[in-house]
Structure 1
């Protein structure tokens, strides 16, 4: 490989990495060069995504859009939009088609009320309800982050106006980017052509003329690039068999395409790259600190048992969170403004571990997943925080086994 070809491969890997984290990129700030490079390499990039992942890449001068469709679409980030908010987001995109170059929240609310009153299958939007206004503003803000809407005034002023709207008065004005709005929905078929919600993603599994092996490989690659940890026990039988038979081929595609490191153990695999995942372990909040301390307690709980068991019943979990609460009280006084106790620790810390695939709810308690060992505290060094050189499954994985070839609706403040 020549120096020029190596440079081209590196440029493509940087674009792929950027798109996996931010599937919609605009020509501004640090992404200007990314879009320029994407236009230069667009043929190779489209082939890579189509061959390895099965996702469509759209390239134009001012926007770069990767139409990501998760392999497991039923999974939802606990910090992401609720089901109601997600529905409102899609409805906002629909009603924005009838808006001009600018709109206000009250206009959007009126259009939502009208469209949901017309279609009886939709839950009616009621702007007189505080929760509905709260959810509407939350999705307006998400549209702003995605570049569909832009406040016409200063960000601080818009924020105050949005709060006033939620409180029952006030309004806020936005510019509308209709081109970006048209690129937001990622579905193999247009919503108007789908017979129901399930059909929006059915054609992804249909394979579009691909062989069974190709479909299985792409499904595995989607999981590997889009999930914090992929456990073999969670995979359908054909995917697990394919992974075991073609692990080196899959690793090579990830390493070359993403310029990253992949760790594979008997229990599963994960990309070890803090820049790539949008589900990185948070490091600055009180809940994340509580989650790290709880992770260490759970690891110790498993290590102390003979024989090892990864199941922790609810009563024992409360005992452990009580111990964590006692430790936390030595360094902090509250979590999100609430007193620290066993229940509060469980409510804020456990969901973080579950969201990251490090634990899961089962009947009567939780099951600890092997990846949790990555966050085990090391003697004298404090809690592990996910640096790139840490082993995903720890020096002593949970449970030990031979290795593969390695390489709510709560009204939170707006």
Structure 2
């Protein structure tokens, strides 16, 4: 591991470079900032070796881009594309993004927004269920969101005009973009041609990947194919940096042994500069730098504050000896989601003679943990009553939009807890995951701030301004 050879004075710089590469799989001259690419170029040789050795990731660094090619072990919906206003991309925006990227790959050095929209509209007309009509404001807004996503990452740069003006009135507004071809080329590099796949399993490399042997028993690992210890270690290390927390129940016996080994976690700590927090249920990397995590928690803002309060209430409910016993269920199997996605793949775009990993071969995952862990279920009705109570007690400190939208507040807060793997959302409620006990006994303080009506505060205030803050103890997970 090359990180062991780096001097203590330079180690912090190297660890920052590793965090940049792991948190931004594409780095350009301007994205995520102007110092990221020079930092990666400085440590390119060492990072290339360590990322491959520890995770199996491939790093390509050029003069204008750095591209990390990760190994995907399982489907993950926690990092969707987002607009400049933090709105999650819908299907239409993803479609426009893909078609725009294809059109830019065939364009010259510059292109106008209206010209790009025309190209995308033509391509969209050939795809069932996709349409771009520039006369429709909702289509223009979605298209501009997709173009903005590309511009943020440096694939295109605004040379003249204004995309917002075009979105409001395409006959009066226009925008001209410079195209950065190296970024376009680096941006979309799938591990397999999607036209050769009939199942999303073909994009996975971990436990959800298809079984190679047609004669292998799908209910247990093939004894003729021993598990590669090196790949098991890589999979565990990947989970440490890609997931908020790695539960032992997520792993098979080999994975549990790898996670328990101090060297496995220690190598990730050395590379990233993060600190591992071990509990009886698993391991989480604590990112006090804020440079690897995509979301801080606990954090400021109504959604984060309410999520923390809900986490405390859920923790208290689970261990309440006087309350009725909660029903328990295992986490949903990923196979159901994979089958739903597979049935939605249009057959018209598949090259039949080259297609692999299809539904006809019935690829299935190996159940590496047949005795599946059961988790308490908290029902939506109970959660709704908790949010009602929180709004009643602290609503005056919440953002105005959430004071009257209790249901929306609950859904957004639970979505955040799901994203952080504190709960798992299911139909009718949430399954409570062990690490949520870290936020047990949350304490709330409402501070009254007296506004000053004069420079020296000699006049009596007419009202008080109230704000809420939350604190949490370092509680042991149960």
| TM-score interval, normalised by the smaller of the two chains | 0.7 to 0.9
1:151/1:175 contact within 8 Å kept? yes
CA drift at 1:141: 0.9
Match of 1:409 in 2: none
Match of 1:93 in 2: 101
CA distance in 1, matches of 2:171, 2:255: 53
The alpha-carbon distance between structure 1 residues 132 and 71, as it changes in their structure 2 partners (threshold 3 A), is farther
Counterpart of 1:152 (choices 133, 153, 159) is 159
Matches within 5 A, 1:54-65: 54-65=56-67
Counterpart of 1:350 (choices 411, 414, 438) is 414
CA distance in 2, matches of 1:261, 1:297: 28
2:55/2:238 contact within 8 Å kept? yes
1:296/1:377 contact within 8 Å kept? yes
CA distance in 2, matches of 1:130, 1:210: 57
1:102/1:174 contact within 8 Å kept? yes
1:376/1:383 contact within 8 Å kept? no
1:290/1:328 contact within 8 Å kept? no
Match of 1:126 in 2: 132
SS in 1 for 2:54: helix
SS in 2 for 1:223: helix
The alpha-carbon distance between structure 1 residues 375 and 384, as it changes in their structure 2 partners (threshold 3 A), is farther
Match of 1:299 in 2: 315
Matches within 5 A, 1:309-320: 309=326, 310-320=376-386
CA distance in 2, matches of 1:377, 1:277: 25
The alpha-carbon distance between structure 1 residues 356 and 175, as it changes in their structure 2 partners (threshold 3 A), is same
1:113 and 2:139 correspond: no
2:121/2:132 contact within 8 Å kept? yes
If the length of structure 1 is used for normalisation, what is the TM-score? Answer: 0.79
CA distance in 2, matches of 1:352, 1:53: 27
Counterpart of 1:142 (choices 141, 149, 160) is 149
Match of 2:15 in 1: 13
Match of 2:279 in 1: 265
The alpha-carbon distance between structure 1 residues 241 and 333, as it changes in their structure 2 partners (threshold 3 A), is closer
For 1:45-99, what per-residue CA distance to the aligned partner results, in whole angstroms no more than 9, with x for missing partners?
Answer: 1111111111110111222221235433342446542343223222211111122
The alpha-carbon distance between structure 1 residues 4 and 43, as it changes in their structure 2 partners (threshold 3 A), is closer
Match of 2:184 in 1: 181
CA drift at 1:9: 4.0
CA distance in 1, matches of 2:429, 2:320: 18
1:164 and 2:168 correspond: yes
SS in 2 for 1:152: strand
Matches within 5 A, 1:163-242: 163-164=167-168, 170-191=173-194, 194-196=196-198, 198=200, 201-202=203-204, 212-233=228-249, 235-237=250-252, 240-242=255-257
1:324/1:345 contact within 8 Å kept? no
1:102 and 2:128 correspond: no
For 1:243-277, what per-residue CA distance to the aligned partner results, in whole angstroms no more than 9, with x for missing partners?
Answer: 35x53121111111111101121222111003211
CA distance in 2, matches of 1:330, 1:199: 48
CA drift at 1:184: 0.8
Aligned length: 380
The alpha-carbon distance between structure 1 residues 12 and 186, as it changes in their structure 2 partners (threshold 3 A), is farther
SS in 2 for 1:357: coil
CA drift at 1:142: 0.7
The alpha-carbon distance between structure 1 residues 140 and 28, as it changes in their structure 2 partners (threshold 3 A), is closer
If the length of structure 2 is used for normalisation, what is the TM-score? Answer: 0.69
2:232/2:258 contact within 8 Å kept? no
1:375/1:383 contact within 8 Å kept? no
What runs of 5+ residues in structure 2 fail to find an aligned partner?
81-86, 212-224, 327-375, 446-468
For 1:296-337, what per-residue CA distance to the aligned partner results, in whole angstroms no more than 9, with x for missing partners?
Answer: 3223323434587542122211111111221332323622xx
2:396/2:403 contact within 8 Å kept? no
Match of 1:22 in 2: 24
Match of 1:383 in 2: 470
CA drift at 1:210: 11
CA drift at 1:202: 4.4
CA distance in 2, matches of 1:316, 1:29: 43
SS in 2 for 1:218: helix
RMSD, aligned α-carbons: 3.4
Which structure has the larger Rg over C-alpha atoms? 2
